[in-house]
């Protein structure tokens, strides 16, 4: 499998190579982006799957001149790109409690208390996301309105026992599954980077799978692989 090293290098530039101290107070996650390094020592590197999707979108112009982001569920990381495919930012995310790449039919019409543990998934796929009103009459980025999957900061009324801020700050992605299916991002990133990029016309969201093969979710990657093989002769 061939991965465009130019895309990989561009993505790697998002993270500083120097060590960044982690905030002493986990509550700071609401007011500033979390450290972009793993465990305060090693710079994060985008996965091969994230790089493949970024390469494909940039090459095929699948984003139709709109900004886009890639959510890597397995690594609980989000990558933001402008309309021309330039990497802008990368942050950790919180995702649905249950592994899985499909939303349960009818889950979008259920009340939160009615959603079972196995239904709390963040579905994989390609979505045209736009800002709209939520239940609290505040505008949020709807990734898939039909299944009530949105992207927003950690809710202010999230229970303390869920430890969402601590989970987002932790060096491992293993504890980043805590939401009902929505994608939580740092407040500063949401306000300073994502919202200005997506507010006017929206943008595309590519959510990578954690149970299905990547090509099953993004079939056009097969075309990319064939073209890459042809170039190799």
Alpha-carbon gap, residue 123 to 102, rounded angstroms: 5
Q: Residues 175-211: pLDDT tens digits? A: 999 998 999 999 999 999 999 999 999 999 999 999 9
**Which one of 1.10.260.40, 2.60.40.10, 2.40.440.10, 3.50.50.60 gives the CATH number of domain 5-232?**
2.40.440.10
Q: Residues 7-34: pLDDT tens digits? A: 444 454 443 332 223 333 444 444 444 3
State residue 190's pLDDT score. 95
Alpha-carbon gap, residue 187 to 148, rounded angstroms: 20
Alpha-carbon gap, residue 217 to 222, rounded angstroms: 11
Q: Residues 35-55: pLDDT tens digits? A: 344 334 345 578 999 999 999
pTM beyond cutoff 0.75: yes
Alpha-carbon gap, residue 111 to 8, rounded angstroms: 41
- Asked if residue 11 lies in contact with residue 90, where contact means CB atoms within 8 angstroms, the answer is yes
Tokens of 46: 């985008």
**Most distant CA atoms of the chain, gap in Å:** 57
Domain ranges for the chain: 5-232
């Amino acid at each position: 499998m061939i991965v465009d090293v130019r895309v990989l290098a561009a993505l790697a530039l998002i993270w500083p190579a120097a060590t960044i101290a982690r905030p002493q107070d986990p509550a700071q996650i609401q007011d500033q982006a979390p450290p972009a390094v793993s465990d305060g020592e090693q710079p994060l590197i985008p996965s091969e799957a994230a790089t493949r999707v970024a390469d494909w979108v940039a090459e095929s112009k699948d984003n139709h001149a709109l900004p886009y982001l890639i959510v890597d569920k397995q690594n609980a990381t989000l990558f933001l790109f402008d309309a021309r495919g330039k990497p802008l930012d990368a942050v950790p995310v919180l995702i649905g409690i249950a592994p899985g790449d499909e939303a349960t039919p009818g889950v979008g019409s259920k009340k939160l208390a009615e959603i079972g543990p196995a239904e709390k998934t963040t579905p994989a796929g390609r979505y045209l996301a736009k800002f709209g009103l939520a239940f609290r009459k505040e505008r949020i980025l709807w990734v898939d309105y039909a299944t009530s999957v949105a992207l927003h900061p950690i809710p202010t009324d999230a229970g303390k026992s869920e430890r969402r801020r601590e989970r987002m700050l932790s060096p491992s992605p293993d504890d980043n599954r805590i939401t009902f299916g929505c994608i939580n991002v740092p407040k500063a990133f949401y306000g300073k980077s994502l919202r200005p990029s997506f507010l006017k016309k929206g943008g595309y969201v590519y959510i990578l799978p954690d149970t299905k093969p990547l090509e099953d979710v993004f079939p056009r990657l097969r075309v990319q692989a064939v073209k890459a093989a042809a170039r190799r002769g």
